[in-house]
Amino acid sequence: MRLRNLRLQTLVQSQALLKNIAARREQIVKVIHLARDIPSGQDTKSAGQLQRAQFEVQGQQALMQANAFSL
C-alpha cells in the first residue's frame, strides 16, 4: 500500500513540475512575441528593451532547466 501511495505522490509531483515547465514555456513565447514588436533602430530605448527581453528569456530558460532536472 505504501509503494502505491509513493508512486501516486511521485506522479502528482511530476505533473506539477510539467505544468510549471509548460507555464515557463508560455512565458518565453510571450516575451519573444513582445520583443518582435519592439521597433528596431538606433534608439537606445529599443536596444534596452531587447536586452531586457533577452535577460527574461534566459532567466525563464534557467528556471525551466532546473525544473527539468527535478524530473
Dist. CA 47–CA 24, nearest whole Å: 24
pLDDT in tens, 31-69: 999 999 888 777 778 888 999 999 999 999 999 999 999
Dist. CA 45–CA 48, nearest whole Å: 5
Best CA proximity match to 35, nearest among 14, 51, 23, 19 = 51
What are the boundaries of each domain within the chain? 2-70
C-alpha cell belonging to residue 41:
533602430
C-alpha cell belonging to residue 51:
536586452
CB of 49 within 8 A of CB of 37? no
pTM over 0.85: no
